[in-house]
Homo-oligomer: A and B are copies of this chain.
Amino acid sequence: MEENVILLDHGSGGKIAHRLTTGLLLPALENPLLAQLNDGAVLEIGNSRLAFSTDTFTVDPIFFPGGDIGELAVNGTVNDLAMCGAKPLYLSLALIMEEGLPLDDLKKIMASIRRAADKAGVQVVTGDTKVVPRAAADKIFINTSGIGVIPEGIDIGGQRATVGDKVIISGTMADHGITVMLQRQEMSFETNIKSDTAALNHMVTRLLAAAPGVHVLRDPTRGGVGTTLNEIAQQAGVGIRIREEALPLDPEVAGVCELLGFDPLYLANEGKLLCLVPAAQAEAALEAICQDPCGRKAAIIGEVVDDHPGRVVLETAIGGRRIIDMLAGEQLPRIC
């Protein structure tokens, strides 16, 4: 293994990626706003509290069951803003295209971007286009950055996870990860599995109205639920316990995972959120999420505990316990 170069693992969202972030990137840029490590930065400008976030999408293939790179790029940044408790308002759109990209593909992607933006209620207000020669990029990469406004009284962040909080997931795990994987491996599975890519901001609005005391929101994308819960446990210095039986999983996704030996806890989701909320508001929060079209299979999957700070523990179906570590390396590059 070459130790002095960037590896695919550095992009995994897992342990090695975290080492790059905390060991090289953050120290170079060190400032208190960046160091919070939430899905977006929270900025005070004038009389407003704004959330500001950025995400680049390099997914391969660019079209897949349930969506495409354009829809993913809008929903990804909308969700990062929503996870700060913000109402997403404005997006930027920056394209890097490879010479030779069919214009029809670009048109389809632009139409998806428009549809997704309309659905989320955001506007693309500024943009940039770069073209690089053949083989200097693969088809198209999309960056979106976004601005949202955080309503008064809302204070959400990984560091707020508190012992006693219930952990809610808004639906089934691993749908996006398995969808892309099946496309990439060109396997001839006959399945109905499709990406869960969706904007979650309307769900968050509903959720915060019903349960204004929410402590943490996070969308478990790269690295999956397992890695995201670890991040939260480390940010807040608390333990998190989840129950295997409670984890929602589409039966087809479960089947593919079992067949191929993948752990759905580490696969990417693109339309799911994790919510940590005081126990007293947990039922109200769950009900609000379930009322959203994207939240019908939501479930309470665990709680924050004062045991094993910084660690996530899974209670297995047969009564055992196993530590859920962060994903170490890369399961599949270019998942989003």
Query: Which residues of A are at the interface with B, using a C-beta cutoff of 8 A?
Result: 2, 4-12, 17, 20-21, 24-25, 28-29, 31, 33-34, 40-41, 43, 45-48, 50, 52-58, 60, 89-90, 92-104, 106-107, 110-111, 113-114, 117, 123-133, 135-138, 141, 143, 145, 147, 149, 333-334
Contact = CB atoms under 8 A, between A and B. Distances in A.
Contacts of A47: 46-48
27 contacts: A4-B102, A4-B104, A6-B98, A6-B131, A8-B99, A17-B129, A29-B114, A29-B124, A29-B127, A34-B125, A34-B127, A40-B126, A41-B126, A45-B147, A46-B46, A52-B126, A54-B126, A55-B94, A55-B128, A56-B128, A58-B132, A58-B136, A94-B143, A131-B333, A132-B138, A132-B334, A133-B334
A16 to B, nearest CB: 10
B52 A110 contact: no
A20 B129 contact: yes
Contact of A130 (B5, B25, B56, B90): B56
A43 B89 CA distance: 10
Number of copies: 2
A75 to B, nearest CB: 15
Contact of A125 (B43, B90, B106): B43
A92 B45 contact: no
A46 B149 contact: yes
A34 B124 contact: yes
Given A5-B102, A25-B129, A45-B48, 15 more contacts: A5-B101, A5-B103, A20-B129, A24-B110, A28-B113, A34-B126, A34-B127, A41-B92, A45-B46, A46-B46, A54-B126, A60-B136, A130-B334, A131-B333, A132-B138
Q: Which of A28, A50, A101, A111 has the most CB of B within 10 A?
A: A28
Nearest to A56: B94
Contact of A29 (B31, B113, B145): B113
Contacts of A45: 45-46, 48, 50, 89, 147, 149
Contacts of A98: 6
Contact of A41 (B6, B56, B107, B125): B125
A141 B137 contact: yes
A31 to B, nearest CB: 5
